[in-house]
Structure 1
Amino acid sequence: MSTSDFGQPQYSQPQYIYTQAPPEPRNGLGIASISLGIVGLLFCLMPITGFIGFALGSIGSILGLSALGRLKRGKATNTKTTWAGIITSLAAIVFGIIGIVMFFTAIDQLGDDLDEVGNNWNEYSDCVGSASTPEEMNAC
């Protein structure tokens, strides 16, 4: 408190200090990465859905690497989640490729088997057509 030239006391205004709160960490990419990695691994359990597992793993690994960049810049705080997301997404990619290879191998084998059945069918129907007794038909 001080006095003015007129003998009146002057009161000073209190000084308020406004501080800005630190920004919230942006952990969404790491969480999305681990979620897509886990779902991708679930799709890789069936070889026919290996395509979906591969796609989800690819997207998850891209998001995980983006989250790793956020970690290095200090904008995110979920280091373990991000690394787990990258690892599960890469595993989904690997198992997705294995599932795709298994699927196409099975399709190729099915085609070969159907060709063999078709060739054997002609021999079988010729044998049955030329058989005159039930014993000869059973032998075919």
Structure 2
Amino acid sequence: MGRHADPFAPPGTSTPAVGGMAGPFAAPGAPGGYAQEQPVPPPPIAPDGPGQVPYGYPGGYGHPGPPGHVGPQGYYGWPGMAPMPSNGLGTAGLVLGIVAAVGFCLWPLAIIAGILGVVFGAIGRGKARRGEATNPGQALAGIICGAAGIALGIGFGVLVIATS
């Protein structure tokens, strides 16, 4: 029985025979085609620490870990999520204030929208001050635009009533 060359071997290499010659994927200088058994070095660690705790690690991802183990947050279990900011009232105050300032020609509607814009803007400012919302500028703009809409609506209403 003759030996057949491996058709998938790279050019210039030979596959090991049963006798034990080095094959195409053997480590350089390895006798018999096998790499020497050497210890594998540990993976590198970033300067700021090993990073995120892997899945299934004690104390990670809500698993309470062994007794006496306290997680990185300082307490047991899942830390939970921070509540979403409630920016709705500040945004509503801004929208109503703009509607009041732009639509002052419809003076009864402008006065009502302006009052609602000032009220919603003030409530939104209070929420932003307590840390429940993240849009104190929009709430302030709602108060300013609402007050301008009220003033323009009253002025236009006086002008309409005085000229009729």
TM-score w.r.t. structure 2 length?
Answer: 0.54
Superposed CA RMSD in Å reads 1.3
Check if 1:104 corresponds to 2:161.
Answer: yes
Question: Partner of 2:148 in structure 1?
Answer: 91
Matched, 1:81 2:81: no
Query: How far is 1:88 from its partner?
Result: 0.5
Equivalenced residues, count: 92
Structure 2 residue 58 is matched with structure 1 residue 14: yes
The AA in structure 1 aligned to 2:125 is: L
Once the 2 structures are TM-superposed, how far is the Cα of residue 14 of structure 1 from its aligned partner?
2.6
Amino acid at match of 2:84: E
Q: Greater CA radius of gyration, 1 or 2? A: 2
1:72-118: per-residue Cα shift (whole Å, max 9, x none)?
211011011111111101100111110110111111xxxxxxxxxxx
Kindly provide the CA deviation profile for residues 109-131 of structure 1, in whole angstroms up to 9, marking residues without a partner as x.
xxxxxxxxxxxxxxxxxxxxxxx
Q: Which amino acid aligns with 2:129?
A: K
Alignment correspondent of 1:26: 86
Letter in 1 for 2:154: I
**Higher RCO (Cα < 8 Å, 6 or more apart):** 1
1:97-136 mapped onto 2 (5 Å cutoff): 97-107=154-164
Give the TM-score taking structure 1 as reference length.
0.62
Q: Extract unaligned runs of 5+ from structure 1.
A: 1-12, 108-140
* Structure 2 gap segments, 5+ residues each: 1-56, 64-76
SS of the aligned residue for 1:21 comes to coil
Q: Distance in 1 between matches of 2:133 and 2:119?
A: 16
Q: What amino acid is the match of 2:160?
A: F
1:37 corresponds, among 89, 94, 97, to 97
